[in-house]
Structure 1
Amino acid sequence: MKAAYNLVLLCLLAVSTVASAQTPNNPEQQPNSFTLPGAGEDNPLMQDGEFEPPMNDIVESQSIRERRVLPYENLREADIMWKRRIWRVIDVQEKINLPFINPQRPLITILLEAAQAGDLRVFDPIGGDNFSMLMDQRTLTSMAGGIDSVRVLDPETYEEKIVLQERLFDPTSVKRYRIQEMWFFDKESSTMKVRILGIAPMIQETTESAGRTIERPMFWIYYPEARQLLANESAFAYGNDAANRSWEDVFEYRFFNSYITKASNVLDERIDRPERSGREQLLDSERIKQEIFNYEQDLWSY
């Protein structure tokens, strides 16, 4: 009986010794202290001391970032038996065009970020729409935001002073996009084809002198140079988040609605002139569209 009693005492003494050895002496490491999850230096969720957010999806999307565009087929001048330059306008407020103003990443944000990073050339609309004048970096930077000097009146001393105010670009100010494209008939394949040449976001501004809202192109993008950039940027696809639709797909497969505002003519006149009514502009736009369709159909005999 005494041997059993001594054995129990030895077991209790061993347990108390192990427990005291595992108790930390550092007060910062006491069990009562609380440490945020992921705050350890060797935690894989931390990179350079910054929190790395988890993947907000079920699989990491790689197909868009790794996509490579196919080059256009070579054309011979002798095979182009007819062509016509067309200007269109995309109204982003139409339902099919709403991906252009997706609040998470609108198209204008993609273009401005690439232009400011030097990944995309932008052309000044002062030189026209023939891509003849590059926009300088200072103009581009001031267009996308900056610091303005504003004169304000001090309510206490009634003295006028200059205050620096940050100016941020508002993506919602771009309501429409102008598209320049070339329609042509390829004799080799006996098909009517179209290639987009340029894209210009149209910004709305209110003039201080006249007090009315005007619309002007911010800059021109030469579309063949921007194809690879647009192919690596996702565009929203209705009803299927796994569609992997890129902005290059939107323009190449014509996932947008537009109307014609100008066609090449001897007087270089636009359809959407202010003196013309909306009905006249719409009828002219449909007439030009029908002329392109009829030209291809008239080449065939049935």
Structure 2
Amino acid sequence: MKKTVLHLILMLLPLMAICQSPPTILADNSVEQLPLDGIVERKVLRERRVLEYPSLRENDLLWEKKVWRLIDTREKMNQAFRYPQKYFFEILTEGIEKGTIRAYSAESDDFSFPLKPEEALSDLQQIDTLPIINPETFEESLQVVVNSLDPAKVIRYRIKEVWYFDKTHGTLKTRILGIAPMITERDEMGNFKFERPMFWVYYPDCREWLSKYPFFNDHTDKQESSWEDLFEMRRFASYITKESNVLDERLEDQLSGIDRLMRADQINQEIFNYEFDLWSN
């Protein structure tokens, strides 16, 4: 009987030691090793380099035309601009804050007036005056409130681009020059007043920054295309609002309603027909 009890005690000792052993303490560096949200590490976009535009001389240009377009992010093809995890507007402003992207004054679209980051992003903080009622005296007073601009409210972008015919290669090409997020101004009652560009960014200088950010693709979660790819491959819907003209007027200054839409479509057709007409003659 004593031997049996002794054997039981010897068998229980290892179990008691395990139960009383101190908990394993993770190394300090293990806290930073977060789980991978996927099955592979995404490095393609991070390591990819932007291809430089081919060299172009003034004598290579046989014809060129500047046009201004408007991208409405509410259109189905443009929904990537409103991806909640990273709005396109946030990508632009983040680049400006870090000094990677230079912003230019919206007073002119020729990129001649560079802005400091705090000047370009001044519209991100909007000051409102709200009536506040004191719960004890029931007296009404005005209080100044600072609100951050909701990126979801930036729903349209203005694009400036050049269409040109390169006689060296015999092809019609286009290059985007600038992008401007549009902001809506409202009166004290919240009624729409007008829309204006917040700032301009020079697109060729933004390509490297935009190439590091993927845009949401409805067809696959594989993040192999960047925002730079989206603009270079023109994977967005837009419509023309202005062409270069002697009075520097927009189409809305000249036409209205269906006439303005028809003129915008006509400008598109004139651009694409230029190459065909050139070879036909």
Q: TM-score, normalised by structure 1?
A: 0.82
Q: 1:210 to 1:160 in 2, by over 3 A?
A: closer
State whether structure 2 residue 193 is matched by structure 1 residue 213.
yes
Task: Name 1:123's counterpart in structure 2.
Answer: 104
Q: Distance in 1 between matches of 2:231 and 2:210?
A: 9
Are the equivalent residues in 2 in contact too, given 1:205–1:214 (CA < 8 A)? yes
Query: Which residue type is aligned with residue 293 of structure 1?
Result: F
Aligned-residue CA RMSD (Å): 2.8
Question: What is the SS of the residue equivalent to 1:125?
Answer: coil
Q: Equivalent residue for 1:46?
A: 31
Distance in 2, Cα, partners of 1:231 & 1:237? 15
Deviation at 1:44, TM superposition (A): 6.0
C-alpha contact (below 8 Å) 1:230/1:246 kept by paired residues: yes
- 1:104 to partner: Cα distance: 1.5
Q: Partners of 1:199 and 1:169 in 2: how far apart? A: 19
1:99-144 C-alpha deviation (Å, 9 max, x unpaired): 1111121110100111112111111102x00111122333334322
Larger radius of gyration: 1
AA paired with 1:130? D
Q: Note the C-alpha offset of 1:168.
A: 1.8
Mapping of residues 127-206 of structure 1, within 5 Å: 128-145=108-125, 152-157=132-137, 163=143, 165-206=145-186
Runs of 4+ displaced beyond 4 Å:
5-10, 16-23, 146-151, 158-164
Pick one of 14, 32, 38 that aligns with 2:10: 14
Deviation at 1:55, TM superposition (A): 1.8
Which residue in the other structure is 2:65 paired with?
A: 84
**Structure 2: distance between partners of 1:192 and 1:21:** 80
Pair 54,260 (structure 1): closer, same or farther in 2 beyond 3 Å: same
Q: Give the AA of the match of 2:77.
A: I
TM-score normalised per structure 2? 0.88
Contact residue 116 and residue 140 of structure 1 kept, 8 A: no
Q: Which residue of 1 aligns with 2:258?
A: 279
**In 2, Cα distance between equivalents of 1:124 and 1:254:** 25
Give me the whole-angstrom Cα distance separating, in 2, the residues matched to 1:20 and 1:301: 94
Q: Which residue identity does 2:11 align to in structure 1?
A: V
- In the TM superposition, what is the alpha-carbon distance from 1:13 to its structure 2 partner? 4.5
Structure 2 residue matching 1:46: 3-state secondary structure:
helix
Give ranges in structure 2 of 5+ residues lacking alignment: none
Q: Distance in 2 between matches of 1:159 and 1:293?
A: 65
Number of the residue aligned with 1:61: 42
Name the aligned partner's letter for residue 245 of structure 1: S
* Paired residue total: 281
Relative contact order, higher structure (CA 8 A, sep 6+): 2
Structure 1: gaps spanning 5 or more residues: 30-34
Determine if the alignment matches structure 1 residue 231 to structure 2 residue 211: yes
SS at match of 1:241: coil
8 Å contact 1:261–1:271 — kept in the other structure? Answer: yes
* Alignment partners' CA distance in 2, 1:140 and 1:147: 16
Percent of paired sites with the same residue: 42
Could you tell me how far 1:179 is from its partner in structure 2?
A: 0.5
The 8 Å contact of residues 207 and 214 in structure 1, kept in 2 or not, is answered as: no
Once the two structures are superposed, what CA deviation does each residue of 1:47-97 show, in whole Å capped at 9, x if it has no partner?
3xxxx5422212221111111100001111111121111101111111111
Q: Which residue of 2 aligns with 1:103?
A: 84
Alignment of 1:244-259 (within 5 A): 244-259=224-239
Deviation at 1:276? 3.1
